[in-house]
Amino acid sequence: MQGVDHYENFPVASWLCPPRLRAPIAALYHYARTADDIADEGDADATKRLADLAAYRAELDRVFAGLPPANARWAGLFASLQRVVEAHHLPAQPLRDLLDAFGQDVRHTATGTRYADSAALLDYCRRSADPVGRLLLHLYGVRDEQSLRQSDAICSALQLINFWQDLGQDLQRDRHYLPLDLLARHGVEEQALLTPDCAPEQDTAARALLRELTARARALMLAGAPLATRLPGRIGWELRLVVQGGLRILDKIDRLQHRTWRSRPKLGRADLALLVWRAARMRA
C-alpha cells in the first residue's frame, strides 16, 4: 500500500484478494509499476524518460483501440492488460491519469519545479494515486459516486502519508513535495533540513509544518475510511488494513515528533497484530 512503498496499495498476491481478481490486479500493478520505473529508475535523462512514457502511452491507446501491442519491449504486459480491459470493461482515464502523473514527476525533477500550494499537490495525487482505487473498485463492481469520492480520499491520503514518511529520502533525491505557501508561512528552508542538525528555529518550524501536513493527511484518511466498513467481504477487510496501515504510519510520525527529514518510520511485523485489531474494531 502507499504509505509503505509506492504502488503497494495494489493488493498483489494478497490472500484477501479473491482468486478471480488476482490476475487482473497483477496486470494493473505491472502496468503501473513499469511506468513508474520508466519515470524513476535507471540513468536515463528526462528527454529519454518522456519519450519512453510517450511510447508507453501509445501502447495503451492501442489497447483501447482493440489493437495488438506494437512495441516488443512491453508486448506481454500490454497483451495481459488488454485481456483485463476487455473482460472487465475498464475505463481508460484512470490508466491515462497515471501516465500523466509519471510524466509530471519527470518534468518536475528535471526542472526543479515545486508545488505552489496544497491544491496543486492534491491535483497531483488525483492523477498519481486516486486512479488506483478507482480501478480496484471497478474490478469489484463498485461504481457509486460516494464510494469513488471516499476511495479518492483514502488514496490521496496514502500518497501524502508516503510523502511525509519519505521526506528525508525525497529531499536527498531532489524531490520536493512540501507546498511553497506552507514553507513560507512556517518559515522553513528546505536546505536546512538536509543538514545533520538543523538550527533550533528551523527544527521547530519544520516540526510545526509537518504536524500540520500530517494532520491534514489524517483528516483526509478518516473522511474516506467509512468506505472500508461499508464494503463487504474481502475487499472491505483489505481496505480496512490499508486505512489502518496509513494511520499507523501517522502515529509513528507523531512519535518521531514529526522529524521525518531525519528518520523514516515504517511498519514491521510487530505492527501486524495491532493493525488487525484496529481493523476489526472499525465501525461505520
Q: Is residue 8 part of a domain?
A: no
Q: Is residue 1 part of a domain?
A: no
Mean pLDDT of 43-61: 97
Express each pLDDT in 180-232 by its tens digit.
Answer: 999 999 999 999 999 878 899 999 999 999 999 999 999 999 999 999 999 98
Report how many domains make up the chain. 1
Q: What percent of the chain has pLDDT over 70?
A: 94
Structure pTM? 0.92
- Flag whether pLDDT at 233 surpasses 80: yes
Q: Is residue 195 part of a domain?
A: yes
Q: Is residue 200 part of a domain?
A: yes
Distance CA 168, CA 163 (A): 9
What pLDDT was estimated at residue 196? 76
Mean pLDDT of 11-15: 51
Domain of residue 226, residue span: 19-281
Q: Is residue 206 part of a domain?
A: yes
- Flag whether pLDDT at 265 surpasses 90: yes
What residue has cell string 505552489? 116
What pLDDT was estimated at residue 71? 97
Express each pLDDT in 130-188 by its tens digit.
Answer: 999 999 999 999 999 999 999 999 999 999 999 999 999 999 988 899 999 999 999 99
Closest Cα to residue 221, out of 254, 259, 250?
Answer: 250
For residues 213-243, one letter each, b for 16 or more C-beta atoms within 10 angstroms of the residue's C-beta and e for the rest, the string is bbebbbebbebbbbbbeebeebbbbbbbbbb
- Flag whether pLDDT at 6 surpasses 60: no
Q: What is the CATH number of the domain that holds 197?
A: 1.10.600.10
